[in-house]
Amino acid sequence: MSVSTCPSEPAASNPPRQDGLDVLDRAIVVATQAGLPLVPDPWRAVGEPLGLSGEAVRERMVRMQAAGVIRRVAAVPNHYRLGYVANGMTVWDVDDAHVDRLGREVARLPGVSHCYRRPRHLPEWPYNLFVMLHGRTREEVEQQAERLCELLGAACRDHRILYSSRILKKTGLRLAGRSDRRGQMR
């Protein structure tokens, strides 16, 4: 799982607490956390150790994707290795009355990979809209930020660009737990 990349399913502000996954769905999640096998029939490769047919695995994954549990099955690039060396976390202090409408508009701009509303920590941290921008140069990121600034207009009181100067850690998430704890999962 990766939170370094973003979803493609339609917005749902209140995802269900009950995930509706059974033990076998969970087993598939655990088995594919590190990645999908690079073999002609990856579904069969995932299913074999679980005692599932390839078609059963595929159907379950289709269902999980339809439910939004799987955002998509995709390649996650290392930004730096693709030449996107300027990665700016831009943070914006946007009027609460307009932030949700504007957030949806901002998310459609090119170069935006993630767009979230988050809590302020006043007085130290007044920013409530977080927008990740990616460019090949800082100038490119700054131009993108300029466009955001224009779009947000008077609803935005202040903003900052926080560049990442170093990756300190980057691992996949391990949310479903280790396979030996599968029995504890719903």
Partner 1 sequence: MSAESTTRPEPAALDAADRRIINRLQEGLPLVASPYASVAAEIGLSEGELLYRLERLLESGVLSRFGPMYHAERLGGGLTLAALAVPESEYPRVTELVNAFPEVAHNYRREHRLNMWFVLATETPARIDETIAEIEAATGLPVYNMPKQEEFHVRLHLPV
Q: Report the alpha-carbon distance of residue 26 to residue 99 in Å, rounded.
A: 36
Q: Within 13 A of 95's CA, how many CA atoms are on the CB side?
A: 9
Give Cβ neighbours of residue 46 (< 8 Å, ≥ 6 apart).
28, 31, 32, 36, 37, 52, 54, 57
Give Cβ neighbours of residue 35 (< 8 Å, ≥ 6 apart).
none
Footprint of partner 1 on residues 96-115 (CB under 8 A)? 99-100, 103-104, 106-108, 112-115
Footprint of partner 1 on residues 6-45 (CB under 8 A)? 6-11, 13, 15-17, 19, 21, 29, 32-36, 38-43
| One of 45, 89, 151, 155 touching partner 1 (CB under 8 A) | 89
- CB neighbour burial string for 6-24, b if at least 16 within 10 angstroms, e if fewer: eeeeeeeeeeeeebebeeb
Q: Is 144 in the site for partner 1 (CB under 8 A)?
A: no
Q: How far is the CB of 158 from partner 1 (least distance, A)?
A: 13
| One of 53, 77, 137, 146 touching partner 1 (CB under 8 A) | 77
Q: Is 152 in the site for partner 1 (CB under 8 A)?
A: no
Q: Is 143 in the site for partner 1 (CB under 8 A)?
A: no
| One of 1, 50, 56, 151 touching partner 1 (CB under 8 A) | 1
